[in-house]
Amino acid sequence: MRTILPVLAMLALLAGCTGPNANFGPELKAQAENFFRGVYGCGPTAVDELAADDVVLSYPIFAELYNTSAFRGREAVRGFAERFCSRWKDAQFTFHESLADEDNVVLVWSFRARFAGGESVGGPVPGEEQAWGGISLFRFDSSGKIVAEIGEESAPGPIARVAAGRSPR
């Protein structure tokens, strides 16, 4: 139940939002997907192209791995993307759902990659494939730049949990 509360809060937030980007849903969805691919798929220049100067990137795992709840500012987010890329290779993304409302986009995603190496106490070994998924809220400013990516991740991800619980037909 603890995991579902932030998701419900994000969806409630979306339901009440209004803003100047209301007619750009498909464009904002594409920008959110491109930003996600850039940050987690070795394309940190996407941060420069799509993020506002004061962008915030936050996931619960950051506290455990980096001793911070969020990366703040374009430089910090780009640095995170570069470090992430040095640890993971052959990244594969699946965007299962994307919802846009006003200045917000929610992506339901799955991620799969091979561990490239680095510090991993009790974690994966180099070459080992890992997979996880999550739900992420992207907030945009009035100029169409991403000001926040706020997410929840888990292994297995939300779609994999639901698929695993299906009964045989």
The length of the chain in residues reads 169
Residue 5 identity (one-letter amino acid): L
Query: Angle 27-109-146 (CA atoms, 0-180°, nearest 5)?
Result: 40
Residue 58 falls within a domain, yes or no?
yes
Residue 15 falls within a domain, yes or no?
no
Query: What average pLDDT does this structure show over 43-72?
Result: 95
Residue 61 falls within a domain, yes or no?
yes
- State residue 123's pLDDT score: 73
Cβ neighbours for 156, distance < 8 A, ≥ 6 positions apart: 131, 132, 133, 164
Residue 25 falls within a domain, yes or no?
yes
Between 2-6, 32-36, 107-111, the lowest mean confidence (pLDDT) is in: 2-6
Query: Cis peptide before 156, with omega less than 30 degrees from 0?
Result: yes
Listed ranges 1-10, 50-59, 158-167; the one with the highest mean pLDDT:
50-59
Whether the per-residue pLDDT at 165 is higher than 50: the answer is yes
Comparing C-alpha atoms, which of 73, 66, 158 is closest to residue 111? 158
Helix axes 25-40, 74-87, angle to 10 degrees: 60
Residue 40 falls within a domain, yes or no?
yes
Domain count, the chain: 1
- State residue 141's pLDDT score: 96
User: What's the CATH code of the domain at 144?
Assistant: 3.10.450.50
Q: What is the pLDDT of residues 118-152, one digit of tens each?
A: 765 567 888 899 999 999 999 999 999 999 999 99
Domain carrying residue 29? 20-164
- State residue 5's pLDDT score: 47
Residue 12 falls within a domain, yes or no?
no
Residue 27 falls within a domain, yes or no?
yes
Q: What is the pLDDT of residues 87-105, one digit of tens each?
A: 899 999 999 999 999 999 9
pTM over cut 0.75 = yes
